[in-house]
Amino acid sequence: MKALRTLFTGKPPQKARLAILVSGRGSNMRALLDAMRLQKLDAECILVLSDREATGLGLAQKYGVPTELFPKKKGESREGFDARLAERLKKENPTLVICAGYLKLITAPLLNAFPNRILNIHPALLPAFPGLNAQKQALDYGVKITGCTVHLVDRGMDTGKILAQSAVPVQSKDTVETLSRRILKAEHQLYWRAIQQYLKKLPA
């Protein structure tokens, strides 16, 4: 299909445009950027944006990706911040908005601006253990298998439609740190694959 589009238009089809939101070190972002660089993920990152000073911004800059610090204003409501963020992202015309360690709960103004176009990855097999400290929740509950989930973002806390999951066994001597590391490795493999599959389902 790509070859046919090139034949009829004289130019290759435009790659999907990803805007990535981070709040921390950006390890999932790095895995996505690597997948794009290796042409495993048929997309380009047009912007990495963080709501706070984050090492992920510096990492993205090393990949040559445009970055922006976009903090919440003093006294600004969560909805007001998301409305402002939505207007900023619209200027980039992203195909998808990708949360990669983004620590803010997304509200209606941003969801309405990009319906079914905001993805997140969570370190548990949803609907089990939503919210923060999912790895500790899994250990405290005593489950034998946990993992990670890629899902669409909706108005709830990790309640959006599940797109893909990867299981990670819990070992008898696991701590939060050791379990988190193994889940993170699974996230790095799952996220780009789930994004690639979801892009195929979007209208041209």
CATH of the domain at 53: 3.40.50.170
Q: Would residue 20 count as lying in a domain?
A: yes
Give yes or no for a contact between 47 and 100, defined as CB atoms under 8 angstroms apart.
Answer: no
pLDDT (tens digit per residue) in 90-133: 999 999 999 999 989 999 999 999 999 999 999 999 999 999 99
Looking at the structure of the chain, the number of domains it has is 1
Q: What is the mean pLDDT of residues 33-40?
A: 97
Q: How far is CA 125 from the centre of its chain?
A: 16
Q: Would residue 97 count as lying in a domain?
A: yes
Q: Give the Cα separation of 194 and 203 in Å (integer).
A: 16
Q: Does 140 have pLDDT greater than 60? A: yes
Q: Would residue 4 count as lying in a domain?
A: no
Give pTM, 2 decimals: 0.91
Q: Which tokens sit at 40?
A: 């495993």
Of the residues 30, 117, 122, 188, which is catalytic? 122
Q: Give the Cα separation of 190 and 31 in Å (integer).
A: 10
Q: How many CB atoms lie within 10 A of CB 103?
A: 14
Q: Would residue 11 count as lying in a domain?
A: no
Beta-bridge partner residues of 118: 97
Examine the residue annotation and report whether 122 is marked as an active-site residue of this protein. yes
Q: Give the Cα separation of 80 and 65 in Å (integer).
A: 27
pLDDT (tens digit per residue) in 45-94: 999 999 999 999 999 999 999 999 999 999 999 999 999 999 999 999 99
Give yes or no for a contact between 156 and 117, defined as CB atoms under 8 angstroms apart.
Answer: no
Q: Would residue 134 count as lying in a domain?
A: yes
Q: Would residue 9 count as lying in a domain?
A: no
Q: Would residue 112 count as lying in a domain?
A: yes
Count H helices and E strands in the chain, helices first: 7, 7
